Structure 1
Amino acid sequence: MSRIAIELVPRDEVSLLTELDLIKNNFPVVDTINIPDLLRYEIRSWEGCTYAQPNYKYVIPHIRAIDINLDQPLRMADFFKEKNINEVLVIKGDPPQDMTHKIYPSTSIDVIRKFKEEIPGIKVYAGIDQYRDSMRKEADYIKQKIYAGADGFFTQPFFDLRLMEIYSEILEGKEVYWGISPVTSEKSLNYWETKNNVVFPTNFQPNLAWNIEFAQKALEFTGRTNANIYFMPIRTDVHKYLQGIFAGN
């Protein structure tokens, strides 16, 4: 059965609990919470997941591969076992702005394999960046992650159903969380184009109405293909965005 996830940033305890409470009370269709690991905040992703666990069966913390020392046991392994966190998303991770933070030359493939070896039974998702390189190279990278033990994938946000359909053929038979994120300003549009190499469709409009309509189409697509979806409401009113998407559901 398809899952619907929301990605929530763990800025602090109060804001995280407030957003979790809002989603629980207004959008019961959401059954999964995934939490990114952002160094500028004190709450680590796996700690943030414990705030969601009282009301959500599925919680998925992000792990930055470059933070993992392959020569040492996973420092969060005992925490995962104690708190019954049995799913994780491994991404490469961006280099920290504060270079006093120790990083390692660990790849996502290295860390996927390490999680599978050190935490038996854990479900490991890997990232897909459909914009980073050619489709051929990304497809090859997907295969490498599967060979390393990846059980499924989280994509970067999509803005074009045609591209989703192409990747659904590449990922046929795999568990996928298709990413959707609203882009509602020219500044945000420029960021996605220059930083993430996104090519937006010609009918794209950086406003909430276009993004809600697209999210509804993507939700219909994932329901039809029995896939999962996650919404990443960056710099957008969570309630207004989700209310628009699920209106009538």
Structure 2
Amino acid sequence: MKRISVELVPRDEDALRGELALLGKFKEQVDVINIPDLLRFPTRSWQGAAIAKEYFPESMPHIRAMDIDLDKELAMKDYLREHDIREVLVIEGDPPQDMMHEVYPTNSVDVIWKFRKEMPEVKVYAGIDQYRGSLSQELYRIKRKLQAGAAGFFTQPFFDMRFLSVYADMLQGLEVYWGVSPVMSARSQSYWERKNHVVFPHAFEPTLDWSVAFAKEVMDFAVREGNNVYLMPIKTNLEAYLEGVLA
């Protein structure tokens, strides 16, 4: 396996520092910290990524495409350079709940291209959402992002190795971080089914044991294929989950 990335939500600086300190015990296994950009929290992703670099050598902020005005220079450009942040993950982004937050009709392809033009030293990754449409539709989006200059991809969480293997065949030769996330309750399972149209396998169980076992299965696959893994420990005991997966 090439790299393991762990996503940490920057709810506030103290909480983020607490999780980063906890992650210190896994420093030998974890290569990069991913920081999503969630507008309901005061810390923006690039600010959280700068904090993460105090604990880990590499961090990667998520950049919301719809926040980028193509007629202006990248607003976070100087900040990224000042803190030596050399990797970003460009996503489409969800519409803001606060209607005062200005958004633009900008897509991921536009922003990947803009980063390549304004910050050629930055490695730009793109997202894959394997649940939003057909395989052919997502493959078209992947090709457009590659043409714009994407260096690799992060997927949404997988819950079925059979589905993952279909994408693995389609993405051969590309740098991919296979997404994995624990689902710990029937309510959380229902959310994934309703919001993201996930079809869970028959053997799925919303438990820590199942989530850990599946994550290990994905990691074994990544080792064999020379890929990367993207752990998203959403709404779970971070230490218990990572001890189970990385032990």
TM-score w.r.t. length of structure 2: 0.98
Residue in structure 2 matched with residue 67 of structure 1 by the alignment: 67
Q: Distance in 2 between matches of 1:27 and 1:71?
A: 40
Question: Is residue 176 from structure 1 mapped to residue 154 from structure 2 by the alignment?
Answer: no
Residue in structure 2 matched with residue 130 of structure 1 by the alignment: 130
The one-letter amino acid of 1:108's match is S
Classify the secondary structure of the residue corresponding to 1:93.
coil
Question: Is residue 205 from structure 1 mapped to residue 216 from structure 2 by the alignment?
Answer: no
CA deviations over 1:171-205 (Å, ceiling 9, x no partner)? 11111111100011011001000100111111101
- CA RMSD for the aligned pairs? 1.0
Q: Distance in 2 between matches of 1:132 and 1:92?
A: 12
Classify the secondary structure of the residue corresponding to 2:150.
coil
Deviation at 1:26? 4.1
Classify the secondary structure of the residue corresponding to 1:116.
helix
Residue in structure 1 matched with residue 196 of structure 2 by the alignment: 196
Q: Distance in 1 between matches of 2:90 and 2:178?
A: 16
Question: Is residue 156 from structure 1 mapped to residue 156 from structure 2 by the alignment?
Answer: yes
Deviation at 1:55? 2.9
Question: Is residue 49 from structure 1 mapped to residue 49 from structure 2 by the alignment?
Answer: yes
Deviation at 1:156? 0.2
Q: Distance in 2 between matches of 1:246 and 1:27?
A: 11
Residue in structure 1 matched with residue 9 of structure 2 by the alignment: 9
Q: Distance in 1 between matches of 2:11 and 2:22?
A: 16
Residue in structure 2 matched with residue 115 of structure 1 by the alignment: 115
Classify the secondary structure of the residue corresponding to 1:162.
helix
Q: Distance in 2 between matches of 1:81 and 1:26?
A: 27
Deviation at 1:168? 1.0
Q: What is the identity percentage for the equivalent residue pairs of Structure 1 and Structure 2?
A: 54
Q: Distance in 2 between matches of 1:57 and 1:134?
A: 37
Q: Distance in 2 between matches of 1:82 and 1:15?
A: 23
TM-score w.r.t. length of structure 1: 0.97
Deviation at 1:223? 1.0
Q: Distance in 1 between matches of 2:91 and 2:160?
A: 23
Classify the secondary structure of the residue corresponding to 2:164.
helix
Q: Distance in 2 between matches of 1:146 and 1:215?
A: 27
Q: Which runs of 4+ in 1 moved over 6 A?
A: none
Deviation at 1:81? 1.1
| 2:21 and 2:55 in contact (8 A); partners too | no
Question: Is residue 166 from structure 1 mapped to residue 166 from structure 2 by the alignment?
Answer: yes
Q: Distance in 2 between matches of 1:55 and 1:41?
A: 21
Residue in structure 2 matched with residue 23 of structure 1 by the alignment: 23
Classify the secondary structure of the residue corresponding to 1:124.
strand
Residue in structure 1 matched with residue 101 of structure 2 by the alignment: 101
Q: Structure 2: which 5+ residue stretches go unaligned?
A: none
Classify the secondary structure of the residue corresponding to 1:15.
helix
The one-letter amino acid of 2:51's match is Y
Q: Distance in 2 between matches of 1:112 and 1:62?
A: 12
Deviation at 1:58? 1.7
Q: Distance in 1 between matches of 2:58 and 2:98?
A: 32
Q: Distance in 1 between matches of 2:55 and 2:68?
A: 29
Mark the CA change 1:80 to 1:27 in structure 2 (over 3 Å): closer, same or farther.
Answer: closer
Deviation at 1:27? 4.9
